[in-house]
Amino acid sequence: MIKTVKFGGSSLASAEQFRKVKAIIERDADRRYVVVSAPGKRFPGDDKITDLLYRCQALRAQGLSFDAAYKTIAERFIGIRDGLGLKLCIEAELDEIRSRIEAGTTPDFAASRGEYLNAKLLSAYLGFDFLDATELIRFRDDGTFDDDATALRAGVLTAHERAVIPGFYGRRRNGMIRTFSRGGSDITGAIVAKLSASDVYENWTDVSGFLMTDPRIVPDAKVIETVTYSELRELSYMGASVLHEDSIFPVRKARIPIHVLNTNDPEASGTMIVPDSMATDKEHQRPITGIAGRRGYTVITLTKDNLHNDLGFAYRLMGILARNGISAERMPSGIDTISLVIDDKRLIGRMDQLYHDIMVECSPDTVEIASCIALIASVGIGMVRNPGVAAKLFTALSAAEVNARLIDQDSNEMNIIVGVEQRDFERAVEAIYRAFA
Ligand code: ASP
């Protein structure tokens, strides 16, 4: 069995955390490929090394001194090395990075050095090879990730029996360093898992898995033991977050499960994210896997008598949206109504034109605009097999005195979306959670 393991910034924020990571890796000889983030926060209010590196580069670009920020970075890395009693000399590398920033390097190069140095430290500490991400992860010159060129690098990875690889960056064809978006070490981990044909991709963080709903709303929310890739996609689209969204694609395609685990509580079972085809009866019998939601939507409802006989009404409406550069999240419809659910951000500065175009080209009988709407998605692949899920959900909402302004269900029957007024948002999420947890 081969396992790719990725450790996030808080898992590698100090010498003490490095010790936990080593113990985890040494407990299982299958953990052969290790992807790391830069050192993160040790305590609330602490600095992340990546933020400090960006700050150094930005200060330099403005002609300002970055000495203080760089000193903090150097001290963090030297503190980890000395705390672990490692003999590795990193002073020369630190000086070299400093000179590159001084000479006016790119933000991507500066930011990437956090992962680079952390991988150097961990490889020395574990006795694993260091394999630079520039050897594996390739970007096109326009900055987009180059899947094909990266796939060709699999042999470079598997030539190593065990290796530590920095997350977050790779290189463009022209040799320049390029990073993913923030949190992108998760993506590197997924790519390494795919290149090494790992049986599982373990993503070690500081939470004991993926919670059934937002703990800021339900503090005692339970951990989800198993979630499928499609369920996770729906939940993260609606605001739930544990992993970088783009880290799902490489492993999902390769049908590799992701195991989300906690470095500070390694015995906790965490959450398994599995391809839909690997879901067992247990998952199919569970009506709701998770509940996620977001505020900040506007619902525009158009009514027109005999709408269903007005050929091309929806076509004209879609044309208006496309022309105005607006995409609708959802479009629930009835016999004589169509509603557009639109993220408020997409409407900024565009509402008047949109309204005008709808009136001229669609001639609806009425248009109703409701703003300050929150959407709540209750997601579960088991919904389709379990009768009464919607009844239970709406009973819970009505008992909590929440008025559902909009109801929509995906055709794959994995998702019930309810639109509520923003002021009812938390109450609604909690009511649904209590009904199904
Ligand atoms: N260190 C990078 C960041 O802070 C990437 C990562 O941690 O995944 O965004």
In the sheet where 258-262 sits, what is the strand order?
Answer: 129-130, 163-166, 31-36, 3-7, 200-205, 258-262, 271-274, 226-228
Domain co-membership, 194 together with 47: yes
Per residue in 296-336, pLDDT (tens digit) is 999 999 999 988 888 889 999 999 999 999 999 889 888 89
Whose Cα sits closest to atom 5 in ligand 1?
183
Q: Which of 17, 48, 50, 242 to mutate to test the pocket of ligand 1 (most atoms within 8 A of CB)?
A: 50
Counting the structural domains of the chain, the total is 2
Q: Is 64 helix (H, G, I), strand (E, B) or coil?
A: coil
Report the nearest atom of ligand 1 relative to the CA of 38.
1
Centre of ligand 1 from the C-alpha of residue 191, in Å: 16
Per residue in 359-413, pLDDT (tens digit) is 999 999 999 999 999 999 999 999 988 889 999 999 999 999 999 998 988 777 8
Domain co-membership, 196 together with 301: no
Report yes or no on 318 lying in a domain: yes
Domain endpoint, select from 162, 185, 206 = 206
Domain co-membership, 325 together with 181: no
Domain that holds residue 72: 3-206
Centre of ligand 1 from the C-alpha of residue 350, in Å: 34
Report the nearest atom of ligand 1 relative to the CA of 244.
8
Domain endpoint, select from 190, 206, 222 = 206
Report yes or no on 285 lying in a domain: no
What is the CATH number for 113?
3.40.1160.10
What is the CATH number for 401?
3.30.2130.10
Report the nearest atom of ligand 1 relative to the CA of 8.
7
A 10 A CB-CB count for 53 gives: 26
Which residues form the pocket of ligand 1, taking CB atoms under 6 Å from any ligand atom?
9, 37-38, 48, 50, 114, 167-168, 182-186
Domain endpoint, select from 186, 206, 226 = 206
Report yes or no on 381 lying in a domain: yes
Domain co-membership, 184 together with 294: no
Report yes or no on 119 lying in a domain: yes
Instruction: Report whether 205 contacts 11 (CB < 8 A).
Output: yes
Domain co-membership, 27 together with 140: yes
Report yes or no on 214 lying in a domain: no
Report yes or no on 13 lying in a domain: yes
Residue 403: what residue type?
Answer: N
CA distance 122 to 6: 12
Domain co-membership, 91 together with 188: yes
Pick the range with the lowest mean pLDDT from 114-123, 222-231, 275-284, 314-323.
Answer: 275-284
